[in-house]
């Protein structure tokens, strides 16, 4: 990704020079000290020795209750799939060790069964990747993510996630979603091998919805994503979150014949002159925020978008 500095007086652009980190530890320290800012996850432990490996960073994603292993490289030449799979297998065979590290860091008393081991993932952060490495993660069932980290001459860090092509296709995970129905894992703690991991996808929800609800979901999501290029779509076990700067703006739950929507604002923060949304602050609900609405068609979609935009305005700065 090329960066340019705008020279307003001359109406011209100057290319910003970027480089990789010369020392791997420099990159690791920078990311570890700013994990919540850059990746939206909690730091647990550095240089964690378990099994036959020493893991650079162990982190925790509280939204999906799962551990994240992070590996740093100045340049990545090895097979990220082989290394990532080895790390995932190690984690699944040493759940008690990771649980203990979590408890020691956060002063908690969590048990192995309290975590969702199906959502474990590995993140690689390197200066660059080969096309082979990028193509190797083009698998919706592989919980491995690649990020390119570069520093600029004027003291900025760029962190770019390499998106796999399967995430751009509505039906890319159709086969895996259907096949997973034949293998039910009763408890998250029962996961013992990489083949049991099942990254959540939009298709897991949309496969159960009617075509009309799928279209309604697509229409709403597309309109929201147009507001800001920093939006990310993060499916979880119970909803699909649309996030910005690691904050959920709105959570969507496509069901068979309706679409549930939760706007992430606290009670009293939403200006809803039509009183369309329900206050769920005092009752149990899956999504973030205190406001919920259920729709079955697009008659109110423009008004609902205006309400969602209030949450976007809150979290985008």
Tokens 């081991």 sit at which residue?
A: 117
Pairwise CA distance, residues 93 & 131, whole Å: 31
For the ranges 9-13, 116-120, 160-164, the one whose mean pLDDT is highest:
116-120
CB neighbours (10 Å) of residue 222?
9
- Look at 154 and 180; give whichever has higher pLDDT: 154
Mean pLDDT, range 98-110, rounded to an integer: 97
Q: What is the DSSP letter of 62?
A: T
pLDDT the model gives residue 155: 83
Cβ contacts of residue 298 below 8 Å, gap of 6+?
A: 216, 219
Per-residue pLDDT reduced to its tens digit, 140-151: 678 999 999 988
The pair of structure tokens assigned to 254 is 């496509």
Q: Which long-range contacts (CB under 8 A, 24 or more apart) does 307-311 make?
A: 307/263, 307/270, 307/271, 307/272, 307/276, 307/277, 308/224, 308/249, 308/250, 308/261, 308/263, 309/227, 310/263, 310/265, 310/269, 310/270, 310/271, 311/249, 311/250, 311/263, 311/264, 311/265, 311/270
pLDDT the model gives residue 189: 55
Question: Which domains does the chain possess?
Answer: 18-168 (3.40.1350.10), 200-315 (3.90.1150)
Per-residue pLDDT reduced to its tens digit, 239-255: 999 999 999 999 999 99
Tell me if residue 259 falls in helix, strand or coil.
strand
Quick check: 288 and 262 in contact, CB under 8 A?
Answer: yes
Per-residue pLDDT reduced to its tens digit, 63-77: 999 999 999 986 666
Name the residue among 167, 312, 153 with its Cα closest to residue 243. 312
Tell me if residue 287 falls in helix, strand or coil.
coil
Q: Could you tell me how far CA 38 lies from the centroid of its own chain?
A: 12
Answering whether pTM is above 0.95, one says no
């Amino acid at each position: 990704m090329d960066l340019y500095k705008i020279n307003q007086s001359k109406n011209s652009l100057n290319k910003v020079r970027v480089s990789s980190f010369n020392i791997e530890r420099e990159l690791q320290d920078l990311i570890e000290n700013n994990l919540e800012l850059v990746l939206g996850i909690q730091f647990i432990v550095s240089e964690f020795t378990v099994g036959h490996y020493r893991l650079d960073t162990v982190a925790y994603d509280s939204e999906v209750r799962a551990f994240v292993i992070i590996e740093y490289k100045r340049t990545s030449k090895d097979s990220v799939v082989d290394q990532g799979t080895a790390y995932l297998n190690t984690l699944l065979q040493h759940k008690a060790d990771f649980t203990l590290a979590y408890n020691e860091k956060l002063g908690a008393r969590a048990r192995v069964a309290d975590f969702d081991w199906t959502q474990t993932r590995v993140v690689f952060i390197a200066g660059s990747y080969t096309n082979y490495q990028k193509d190797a993660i083009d698998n919706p069932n592989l919980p491995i993510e690649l990020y390119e980290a570069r520093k600029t001459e004027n003291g900025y860090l760029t962190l770019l996630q390499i998106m796999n092509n399967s995430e751009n296709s509505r039906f890319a995970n159709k086969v895996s979603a259907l096949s997973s129905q034949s293998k039910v894992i009763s408890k998250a703690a029962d996961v013992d091998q990489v083949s049991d991991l099942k990254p959540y996808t939009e298709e897991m929800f949309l496969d159960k919805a009617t075509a009309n609800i799928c279209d309604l979901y697509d229409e709403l999501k597309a309109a929201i994503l147009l507001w800001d290029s920093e939006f990310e779509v993060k499916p979880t076990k119970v909803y699909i979150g649309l996030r910005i700067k690691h904050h959920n703006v709105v959570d969507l739950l496509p069901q068979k014949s309706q679409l549930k929507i939760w706007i992430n604002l606290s009670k009293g923060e939403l200006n809803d002159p039509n009183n369309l949304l329900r206050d769920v602050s005092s009752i149990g609900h899956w999504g973030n925020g205190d406001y919920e609405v259920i729709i079955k068609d697009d008659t109110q979609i423009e008004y609902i978008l205006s309400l969602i935009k209030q949450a976007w305005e809150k979290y985008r700065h």
